[in-house]
Amino acid sequence: MSVGCGEADERRTTNDEPGSLVGGLRSSAGGQPSVVVIVGPTAAGKTALSLALAQELGGEIVSADSRQIYRGMDIGTAKATPADRAAVPHHLLDVVTPDQALTLAEYQQMAYAALDGIVIRGRLPFLVGGTGQYVHAVVEGWNIPAVAPRPDLRAELEAFAQAAGAEALHARLTALDPVAAGRIDHRNVRRVIRALEVCLVTGQPISELQRKTPPPYHFTLIGVTRPRPELYARIDARVERMIADGLVDEAARLAAAGYDWRLPAMTGLGYAQIGQYLRGEASLEEAIARIKRDTRRFVQQQYNWFRLDDPVIRWVDA
């Protein structure tokens, strides 16, 4: 897998017949257990494909979605439904409450434990999701620096970003760790802050600390894509469906339960915009339009993680 930006033809898909693709998923190399990894942008169809393949091949699904770890955040994260979970066992959903943090290192350890358990049960593991950092950490075996969060330092860096701008914060990272800065979009302020935090606490660039130790699995990576106009239409339809299913009420319940709108969980797609509506800062129509717009922008970030020209990923048209 590679990381970075790049334009590519979004119709680039595998020429494999469905039977040949499915038939090879259980095969392994060198006696290593097989793991199927399904990636791609929001609303492309990862969930439907993973459910179909898992049922066909006797699999279990491990979520690689950084928002579906939160309990009580179901509609806005497009979490697997009770019917989905009854059809195929799911792991790493509803791990923490919205006011709790789950570090990348903790997620990685939990993912490996889930994969091991599935293999021991004689089932086929599926790692499924659109959070590139989660997928890369597991598949590539990142050695993640054991640096506990420093709230005071993070607050200082966040204040700097608000005062000077995200690009200025990114420039500070470039000065300390140009390799990490080249991998992190300046708009992803949280990741920039984490990289700076590790550098400032340890005195070493995070890129040097993040050595890779490939895990003992044979990964088959499948990417799900669609032409951009079709994908955007699916995003719009999904947002409308979330509203119809009760996203506004879900967000209101979370706020009523005491979860601050400034929490990372509450600033995610859907919840941040509905929060603006509930606080009287936008009309519902404006909030819905912003969710659609911001989700389209997020899709580009996902394609930066999962490049259409990455030779390791076998892209398929959903």
Residues 6+ apart with CB under 8 A from 167: 186
Overall average pLDDT of the 112-141 stretch = 96
Q: How far apart are CA 181 and CA 196, in angstroms?
A: 10
The pLDDT value recorded for residue 206 is 84
Q: Based on the fold, state whether residues 203 and 87 are members of the same structural domain.
A: no
Confidence of residue 10 (pLDDT cuts 50, 70, 90): very low
Give a yes or no: residue 239 inside a domain: yes
Q: How far apart are CA 227 and CA 299, in angstroms?
A: 12
Q: Based on the fold, state whether residues 220 and 254 are members of the same structural domain.
A: no
pLDDT averaged over the chain?
A: 90
The pLDDT value recorded for residue 253 is 98
Q: Based on the fold, state whether residues 201 and 245 are members of the same structural domain.
A: no
Q: Based on the fold, state whether residues 125 and 233 are members of the same structural domain.
A: no
Q: Based on the fold, state whether residues 127 and 166 are members of the same structural domain.
A: no
Q: Based on the fold, state whether residues 24 and 125 are members of the same structural domain.
A: yes
DSSP characters for 109-158? HHHHHHHHHHHHTT-EEEEE-S-HHHHHHHHHTB--------HHHHHHHH
Q: Based on the fold, state whether residues 72 and 113 are members of the same structural domain.
A: yes
The pLDDT value recorded for residue 24 is 63
CATH at 58: 3.40.50.300
Overall average pLDDT of the 269-283 stretch = 98
**Residue 316 near residue 295 (C-beta atoms within 8 A):** no
Query: pTM for the complete prediction?
Result: 0.81
CA distances from 256 to 135, 259, 284 (A): 33, 7, 19
Sheet harboring 313-317: ordered strands across?
90-91, 59-63, 124-128, 34-39, 218-225, 313-317
CATH at 189: 1.10.20.140
Give a yes or no: residue 3 inside a domain: no
Q: How far apart are CA 2 and CA 125, in angstroms?
A: 22
Overall average pLDDT of the 194-206 stretch = 89
Give a yes or no: residue 80 inside a domain: yes
Confidence of residue 22 (pLDDT cuts 50, 70, 90): low
User: Residue 15 pLDDT more than 70?
Assistant: no
Tokens of 248: 């506004």
Q: Based on the fold, state whether residues 202 and 176 are members of the same structural domain.
A: yes
In 3D space, the residue among 173, 145, 133 whose CA is nearest the CA of residue 157 turns out to be: 173
The pLDDT value recorded for residue 9 is 39
Q: Based on the fold, state whether residues 94 and 220 are members of the same structural domain.
A: yes
CATH at 235: 1.10.287.890
Q: Based on the fold, state whether residues 262 and 123 are members of the same structural domain.
A: no
The number of folded domains in the chain is: 3
Residues 6+ apart with CB under 8 A from 280: none
Q: Based on the fold, state whether residues 46 and 182 are members of the same structural domain.
A: no
Q: Based on the fold, state whether residues 42 and 135 are members of the same structural domain.
A: yes
Range of the domain at 188: 151-209
Q: How far apart are CA 270 and CA 291, in angstroms?
A: 6
Give a yes or no: residue 278 inside a domain: yes
Give a yes or no: residue 111 inside a domain: yes
